[in-house]
Amino acid sequence: MTAATPKGERRRQALVEAAAALLVDGGFDAIRHRAVAERAGLPLASTTYYFDSLDELVTAALEFHGNAELAYGKARLDELDPRECGGDAFIELVLDLLLGPPGDGDAEAVLLRYERLVATGRRPYLRPLMRRMSGELHSLLFDIFTRAGQPVSRERVEELIALVDGAVVNALIEISPDPRAAARRMLRKAMQPR
């Protein structure tokens, strides 16, 4: 169900944002009617009024969060100074796009991106959305490589993404996971000139 009134639209949006916040904090399973309503400061019934099912709410939350991530990526592309992308800085840029900007809750934040990919395996209804967002991310990386004076094939982009993703997933089982460091190591090795 969609809102028909400006106020209704604002309410609906508040629910989506609350759901996205829960998604970041606790993964897909954290998105529940009651939790979303409480986080948005709205009554329980508002969640069923604006969303026909929980899946719809989950989809909206994922889309919201994905768009935010893509917007961040595009901003980074726009402000990219081709003279300043020597090796290490460029690698950090790529990591920022794939893992999000570095921070305290690093492992926690990174986890979500990969939880999303895997969770999609058991939630087919998310596939179209995930495909779209994944495609845009690939294009974004392609553009960034090109702009940085390191043109690559689309195939190569996929290869590098796979390398980073694999490094991250395998780093998650460490005692104190540092997926970003693992990804950095792999990326550095793969990108060093031969």
Interface residues with DNA (CB under 7 A)? 1, 3-8, 11, 31-35, 42-49, 53-54
Q: How far, in Å, CA of 45 to CA of 171, rounded?
A: 41
Q: Residue 124 Cβ, how far from a second copy at the closest point, in Å?
A: 9
Q: How far, in Å, CA of 55 to CA of 57, rounded?
A: 5
Q: How far, in Å, CA of 165 to CA of 97, rounded?
A: 12
Q: Is 100 left (phi over 0), alpha (psi -120 to 50) or beta?
A: left
**From the list DNA, a second copy, none, partner contacted by residue 7 (C-beta under 5 to 8 A by kind):** DNA
Whether the CB-CB separation of 164 and 98 falls below 8 Å is answered with: yes
Q: Which is nearer to a second copy, 10 or 188 (CB)?
A: 188
**From the list DNA, a second copy, none, partner contacted by residue 44 (C-beta under 5 to 8 A by kind):** DNA
The three-class DSSP label of residue 67 is helix
Q: Residue 21 Cβ, how far from DNA at the closest point, in Å?
A: 15
Q: Which is nearer to DNA, 45 or 190 (CB)?
A: 45
Q: Which is nearer to a second copy, 33 or 123 (CB)?
A: 123
Q: Which is nearer to a second copy, 37 or 137 (CB)?
A: 137
